[in-house]
Copies of this chain bind each other. A is one copy, B any other.
Amino acid sequence: MEKLLYGVAYYDEYMPFDRLYEDIRMMQAAGINVVRIGESTWSTMEPQPGVFDTSHLTRVIEAMQAAGISVILGTPTYAIPSWLARAYPEILAVTEKGKELYGRRQNMDITHPAYLFHAERIIRKMMETCAHYANVIGVQLDNETKAYGTSGPNVQQGFVRYLKKKFNNDTDALNKAFGLDYWSNRIDAWEDVPDVRGTINGSFSAEFRRYLRHVAADFLMWQRRIVEPYLREDQFITHNTDLSWAGYSYGLNGEVDVFEDAKATTVLGVDIYHPSRSGLTGMEIAFGGDLTRSAGKGNYLVLETEAQGFPEWMPYEGQLRLQAFSHLAGGAEMVEYWHWHSTHNSFETYWKGLLSQDFGENETYRAAKGIGKEFRELRPHLLGLRKTNRTAILVSNTALTAIDAFPISGYSDPSFRYNDVLMRIYRVLYENNVECDFLFPQNAAERMGDYDLVIIPALYAAPDELLCQICHYAEQGGHVFITYRSGFSDENNRVWPDTQPHRLREICGITYQHFTTPEDVGLQSADTTLEGNAQQFMELLNPCADTETLIRYTHPAYSRYPAATRHSCGKGCATYLGCQPDPAMLSWIIRDTCRNAGVLNSTNTFPIIERGGTNAQGKRILYIFNYSGKAQVAHCPSGMRDLINGCLSAETIPVDPWNFVILEEVL
C-alpha cells in the first residue's frame, strides 16, 4: 500500500436521503481515505432480472475520486435479490435444518448454476462499469464466504463424485477409512451413499465439512478468475474472511480453510470484532491479525471492525484510537469500520457505525478524526511492518472439525472445543508478550524450521506425514509444545490403533492408554511453586525413564501419572501437556516452555502489551499498549524514539489508561 488505509464501508443505497457530498466532507475531515462499496447490494444494482443500473456506484466513485478517497469494490454476491429467489427457489440452500427461506444473506447454494450464472453476470457488469476508475484500488470478492451448510441433493451428488475420486472409486477403501461397518453403515455401491445430513459417522460428516471448505475456496477462485481480466496491475484482489464467532471474533473458523481462501487474493482481508469497554484486551485484534498475516502474504487488510458497534461495545474514551493502532501493530495496512453511518432499517440498526442514525458529529466520529490525522502523519514510520517471530502455533481445520464430532469432554459436555484449547494458549502468549505466527498443515513442513518453538494444540486428527514432520522438527533442534488429544486419530478421524499418542510418543517420551474427565483432581507444578487443578480432560500418562515431570496430579488415584512432561529428543525438546489445567497453571507451563525455548523476552505483562516488527525503512518499531483503565509504567528499550512526542525512551515509560506509545529504532 502507499498509504495507511483508514476506511469505512459505505452504503449510499441505504441512505434515507441524499447525503453523498456531506458524507464526503465529513470523511475528509476525519481522514477517511478509502471506502468499500457495493458489497451485499445486488438488488440495487439489478432491481429486476437483466435490468442493470450501477450509476449510483459510479456516482459514488466519481465523487470519492474528486475528494481523493480511494474505493474498494465489493462484489455483491453474498446476498441475493428477491426476484432471483422467486424465479429459482432451488437456489435457496437445503441444509441440516431444511430448506432455507429468502430473507437473510448467506443462505443460498453457492454451487447452483442458476446462482452462478446470475452472480457472474452482475460481477461482470460491476467490473465493466466501475473497475477502471483510477481511485478504485482493489476488489473484494464476495464477503465472509462459506458454503453455508448447503447439502441438497445436487451438493451431495458432488460430494459422492469427490469421494469416488478420493477413494479411487473403491468403496472398500471408503468403508475401511471411515469405519462404516459400525452400526451397519457400510456402502457397497456408490448409489447407496445416504443423505450425509443423517449420518452419525464422525469421519463421513467431517469429510463433508472438508468438502464444503473446498466448495467455498473454489467459489472464491471462480470469482477471482472473473474479476481479474478487468483489473490493472496496481489493483488488489482481497477477500473479507471471518473468524469463528462467539458473539465476537473467536478462534479458527471451521467452515473455511483460510489458508486456501487466501490463494484467491493478492492481499488477504479479515473482519475482527471484539469485546470493548472493560472487555477490551487487544487479544482478539492480535489473534485475528496474526492468523490473517500468517494465512496470507504478510500485511493484511482489516476490512471490517467496529466503530460504535453493538450497544455493549460503545467504547470508552481512548479505546477507538487504541484499537486502531492495535490493528497496525499486527501488520494491518488498513483499518476499515463497519460502517460509516448506522442503518435506519432492517436488522443491524443496533450495530452502529461511526455516525449514529442522526448523521451528526459524535464522540466516536471525533475520536476517528484524531486517528485519521495520526495515520496520515505516522504513515512513513508504520507502513510495511514486517515481523520475524520465533514462535508459531500449528492450527488445523481437520482437528477442529474432528473435535466438533468427538468433543474433548465427551458428548455430555460438548461445549469445550478446539478453539477453547487454542485461545487459552494464545492468551498466555499474548499476555506475556510472546508474539507468534500461525502454521497450517499445508505449510508446516516447509515453515516449521523458521521457529524456535512450535505449539501444537489438540491436533486430534492429522495425517501421519504431518506427525512425522513434527517429530523431525523436534529432532533437528526445535522445541515443541504439544497438548493432550494430539496424534489421536488420522486425518479421517480413525483413532490410531497403536499406542497413544501416535508417532509423537517417542519425541514426547510418554504413552497412555486411558483418559478421563477430572473429578476434583489437583495439580502441582514440579517445582512445587504452584497448585492448581485439572479441568475438562486428562490423560493418564506413562513416562519413559528419561522423561521429566513438569506437573503432577495430587489426586491419589492418579499420583503415578504425570500431568505434563518434558523430554529431550535428538537436538530438540518436546513438552507435553496431558490435561487441561486451570489458567494459572497453563500460564506457568507455557511461560516455562517459552523460557526454555528462549522466546520469553519481555518483562512486561498484560495489561502492558508489546507488539512490533521492522518498518519499510528497516527500523525496529515497538508498540507498547496499556489495555486498562489505569495508568501503567512499562519497561522498554532505552534510546528509541517516541513517535508521538518525539522524545527518546528511558528504561521505563508511563502509559496512560487505554493509551499507547510507539517507539522507533534510532539507526
Contacts and interface: CB of A to CB of B under 8 A. Distances in A.
Interface stretch (A211-219, A465-473, A514-522): A514-522
This protein's copies in its complex: 3
A657 to B, nearest CB: 11
A492 B345 CA distance: 9
B358 A181 contact: no
Contact of A357 (B278, B345, B496): B496
B181 A13 contact: yes
B188 A105 contact: no
Contacts of A42: 184
Contact of A200 (B100, B103, B317, B500): B103
A186 B47 contact: yes
Contact of A557 (B80, B317, B362, B411): B317
Nearest to A413: B312
A76 interface: yes
A185 B497 contact: no
A411 B182 contact: no
A645 interface: no
A513 B363 contact: yes
A201 interface: yes
A277 B519 CA distance: 8
Interface stretch (A189-197, A440-448, A449-457, A525-533): A189-197
A85 to B, nearest CB: 6
B349 A495 contact: yes
A47 B102 contact: no
Given A13-B181, A311-B516, A344-B494, A194 B410 contact: no
Interface magnitude class on chain A: 35 or more
Nearest to A538: B311
A43 B358 contact: no
A343 interface: yes
B513 A201 contact: no
Contacts of A197: 101
A202 B346 contact: yes
A363 to B, nearest CB: 6
Interface string A488-522: 01001111111110000000000001111101100
A118 to B, nearest CB: 12
Given A85-B194, A104-B198, A16 B184 contact: no
Given A188-B47, A189-B48, A310-B410, A100 B357 contact: no
Interface of A: 11, 13-14, 16-17, 40-44, 47-48, 76, 79-83, 85-86, 100-105, 176, 178-189, 191-195, 197-203, 247, 277-278, 308, 310-312, 314, 316-317, 342-350, 356-360, 362-364, 406, 409-412, 489, 492-500, 513-517, 519-520, 537, 540, 557
Given A179-B344, A343-B495, 8 more contacts: A82-B184, A103-B201, A203-B346, A278-B519, A314-B514, A314-B515, A345-B493, A357-B497
